[in-house]
Structure 1
Amino acid sequence: MRNKGILLICFILVFSLLSAGCTVKDKEQDNGVSLQDKTWEEIVEEANGTTVSFYGWGGDEKINRWLDTTVAQELKERYNVSLERVPMVPNEYLPKLLNEKQLKAEGTIDIVWINGENFYNAKSQEILFGPFTQMLPNFNQFIDTDSPDVEYDFGHPVEGYEAPYGKAQMVFIGETAVIEKLPSNHIELKELAKKHEGKITYPDLTDFTGSAFIRNIIYDIVGYEAFIDLQADKEAVREVIQPALDYLVDLKPYLWRQGENYPATIAQLDNMYADGEVLMTMNYTPFHIAGKIADGSFTKTSQSFLFEKGTIGNTHFMGLPFNAPNKAGALVVMNHILSPEVQVTKYDPTVWGDLPVTDPSLLNDKQQQLFEKVELGEGVIPQDVLLQHRVPEMRAELVPIIEELWREVVLGHE
């Protein structure tokens, strides 16, 4: 009798586990994969009356305001979808998603603002849902789906696992009332730093703009072609970037605080520039300067500039977590953001100054005119000039190696 009881308990346990597995699979089908078989109208209907959580960097009040007002209000009016913005960076939300995956826990995040090495890691660890971009009408209608900026993220194929959000490109900003000639390469930058000791710096590499600045210097010295097929091996990377590391060590004594400290964020560097503490700042949002001049933070003699060999440009994306509780709502939000009418609102420097991802050749005359009417403001570089000086990002797995070498060689150099 005792053996029969044990067998019965074992049977119940096995049945329960199998049932739980089926439930999870069925739920996944209901909440995700089955969406790919639904019409767009059915997806919109499923999203009606729901709330979508949007997780991403919250360090810019203009961007936050744009999401909380322009995007959120139109979503509510047009689709009866509420947008909840949650300020959280990838280093925080990626472990959260991994933990949910390991525990088979309920999902809590609907959309993530993501790109670069974070996308590479998330996709590799299978915590993103996809492919899904083919389900978005505006992606198919207004985006050049064959563009390298859309097909690849930091050198890795996107394969429909994230939707483009906006385009960024590194620009430098200088005070022309003091700087007679804005530097056009790394050599002239060092000459400027020597001439105005302590008045030039860049953010610490914990800030993504600081990391991008270092990669721009590397590109200017050794060229971006050297990284196309470069193995993600520390010694191999060190050998290629050694001339740039030597340059940064030589530059260090002429920087703010002799390069012993660096601004923690790009916002801090902007404030230092606004206060006249330094003569240069930089930004990945190329029209950032116009908004700063317009609100009086930067002087009217501030001017954006590029290196002759170009500056790094990339696309930032929106991803869909594997366990997003409201996938239908997330797709509606992404599709809405991809419309030309929404993309143009963030193109305005007084709102954000983010480059659009829509392809001008795919827009009708009325939509093209919306972009043409936007006043880019003072101090900016025209979009066509930016695109002529745009160089690609290096592969995501190379970035942390470069940051590590910078810390060891440059930051650790006495």
Structure 2
Amino acid sequence: MNLKRLALLLTIVMALFLITGCSGEKGTTDIPINNDENITSEEFDPNTDFDKILEEAKGSTVNFYGWGGDEDRNRWLNQTVAPVLKEKYDITLEVVGMDIDNILAKLAGEKQAGLKEGTIDMIWINGENFYSAKENDLLFGSFAEQLPNFEKYIDGDDVEVKYDFGFPIEGYEAPYGKAQMVFINDSAITEETPRNAEEFMEYAKKYEGRITYPALPDFTGSAFVRTLIYDIVGHEQFLDMEANKEVVKEAIEPALEYLRELNKYLWNQGKTFPATSGEVDNMFEDGELVMTMSYGSYSAAVGIEKGIYNDTVQTFLFDKGTVGNTNYIAIANNSPNKAAAMVAINEIISAEIQATQFKELRSLPVVSYDKLTDEEKARFDNIDIGKGALPQDELLSKRLPEMPANIVPIIEQLWLEEVVGK
């Protein structure tokens, strides 16, 4: 178990302990305890005619919880999405920034307390966090396929619509945006763009001490390591691999050996690694590194627009592709505003809002291009993706599926044991 998962477990356990302990003392809490009722059996039915759901949602306030560290996304939600929801449906959107670990702990605490109606409606989530929330009955049931815009715009046969990091979604969340690992360098400093792991090793040797990546389990660092693993040993075997440390270790041993060799040519010789992707970006901006990496497919264009990067900064990928995934929106099981949450999510996956997300945030859209009208296609086609970025079709043509979420922490643990400082 990696440190992040351990911290999450301890947080949830502590939340449950505190609430359980307080519930036995008179006057210590005003949270209603209702252990005789099953909080998962709600009166709201997602299969209700959507016109009735629209009517029920009017005048509601819906609370959207998710990571709040992206100021551009916060601005988009508050200044673009919220006004549309208010004007079209009389729904007030409240955006609450909170780390997913704390969100899950809050949901677990409310469940333990028997709180039939909580404070969280919509949740920005994916991967192992989705699996954990779904398995622990913290999420509302299957709703996504009942949304009109899901049927209208989403490809239901897409593997990333059916599975989240290898786990069946079963309608418990709707797609929100897509991410994909990209590499970034400055063509004025290094013309080379390595196309595979072998070329990347030579690149590291040439620019010894001026390349590194974030320490795992940083999200970007972990995706970078998985991309290298895919390039060295392939990706197909991981899709149904047993989540067993020895099995995984045997499968990725050639990649572990590669990473140990790569250490010799990295910043600080791989003895230590920057803690976050933000630190790697800062080192690249300061000229200490010759490249950086991002899970934001258009990070180079955004950086150039903001004046953070030079105009000569460029994006590149490996020929075999890079890891990509989808992030989603789920509804809390004890959400007091499920109708409003469904209406809000339905609007977010519309062609109109997805186009604004693509334009303002450079987030790969989740709508299927083939399902768009000619007018809607033109709206996307006319968006200027900016300098230094790769077009959407090239990104998607080199997009590799994520590993099952229960394999990822094993790889992160093996990296810590077998690569760092070796």
Q: What TM-score results when the alignment is normalised by the length of structure 2?
A: 0.88
Structure 1 residue 83 and structure 2 residue 93: aligned?
Answer: yes
Letter in 1 for 2:390: I
Alignment of 1:211-250 (within 5 A): 211-250=222-261
Aligned residues: 389
| CA distance in 2: counterparts of 1:88 and 1:304, whole angstroms | 31
| CA distance in 1: counterparts of 2:59 and 2:340, whole angstroms | 9
Structure 1 residue 372 and structure 2 residue 385: aligned?
Answer: no
Structure 1 residue 196 and structure 2 residue 207: aligned?
Answer: yes
CA 1:404/1:21 → structure 2, altered by over 3 Å: closer, same or farther? closer
Structure 1 residue 29 and structure 2 residue 42: aligned?
Answer: yes
Per-residue deviation, 1:325? 1.7
Q: 1:166 aligned to 171, 174, 177, which one?
A: 177
Matched with 2:22 is none
Q: 1:254 aligned to 255, 265, 268, which one?
A: 265
Per-residue deviation, 1:272? 1.9
| CA distance in 2: counterparts of 1:277 and 1:27, whole angstroms | 53
CA displacement, residues 277-314 of structure 1 (integer Å, 9 cap, x when unaligned): 21111111211211111121111111100001111111
Contact 2:304 2:310 in 1 (8 A): yes
Per-residue deviation, 1:330? 0.9
Q: 1:177 aligned to 184, 188, 209, which one?
A: 188
Q: 1:381 aligned to 386, 390, 397, which one?
A: 390
Alignment of 1:286-365 (within 5 A): 286-348=297-359, 351-365=360-374
Letter in 2 for 1:371: F
Contact 1:288 1:352 in 2 (8 A): no
Per-residue deviation, 1:135? 2.0
| CA distance in 2: counterparts of 1:58 and 1:399, whole angstroms | 24
CA 1:20/1:101 → structure 2, altered by over 3 Å: closer, same or farther? closer
Contact 2:65 2:122 in 1 (8 A): yes
Structure 1 residue 102 and structure 2 residue 112: aligned?
Answer: yes
Aligned with 2:81: secondary structure? helix
Letter in 2 for 1:139: F
| CA distance in 2: counterparts of 1:244 and 1:20, whole angstroms | 52
| CA distance in 1: counterparts of 2:35 and 2:218, whole angstroms | 42
Letter in 2 for 1:52: V
Structure 1 residue 207 and structure 2 residue 221: aligned?
Answer: no
Aligned with 1:240: secondary structure? helix
Per-residue deviation, 1:226? 2.1
CA 1:123/1:27 → structure 2, altered by over 3 Å: closer, same or farther? closer
CA 1:279/1:169 → structure 2, altered by over 3 Å: closer, same or farther? same
CA 1:198/1:361 → structure 2, altered by over 3 Å: closer, same or farther? same
Structure 1 residue 42 and structure 2 residue 52: aligned?
Answer: yes
Aligned with 2:179: secondary structure? strand
Matched with 1:408 is 417
CA 1:26/1:251 → structure 2, altered by over 3 Å: closer, same or farther? closer
Q: Which structure 2 residue ranges, 5 or more long, are not aligned?
A: 1-32
CA 1:226/1:29 → structure 2, altered by over 3 Å: closer, same or farther? closer
Contact 1:172 1:282 in 2 (8 A): yes
Aligned with 1:36: secondary structure? coil
| CA distance in 1: counterparts of 2:139 and 2:106, whole angstroms | 13
Matched with 2:15 is none
Aligned with 1:254: secondary structure? coil
| CA distance in 1: counterparts of 2:213 and 2:40, whole angstroms | 48
Contact 1:343 1:358 in 2 (8 A): yes
CA displacement, residues 197-231 of structure 1 (integer Å, 9 cap, x when unaligned): 22111112232111111100110111001212211
Q: Which structure 1 residue ranges, 5 or more long, are not aligned?
A: 1-18
Structure 1 residue 150 and structure 2 residue 161: aligned?
Answer: yes
CA displacement, residues 176-213 of structure 1 (integer Å, 9 cap, x when unaligned): 11213111111211211121122111112232111111
Per-residue deviation, 1:28? 4.1
Contact 2:40 2:137 in 1 (8 A): no
Alignment of 1:262-281 (within 5 A): 262-281=273-292
Contact 1:35 1:328 in 2 (8 A): no
Contact 1:173 1:281 in 2 (8 A): yes
Letter in 1 for 2:205: K
- What is the root-mean-square deviation in Å for CA atoms of aligned residues? 1.8
| CA distance in 1: counterparts of 2:72 and 2:34, whole angstroms | 45
Identity in percent:
51
| CA distance in 1: counterparts of 2:176 and 2:403, whole angstroms | 20
| CA distance in 2: counterparts of 1:202 and 1:170, whole angstroms | 12
Per-residue deviation, 1:27? 9.1
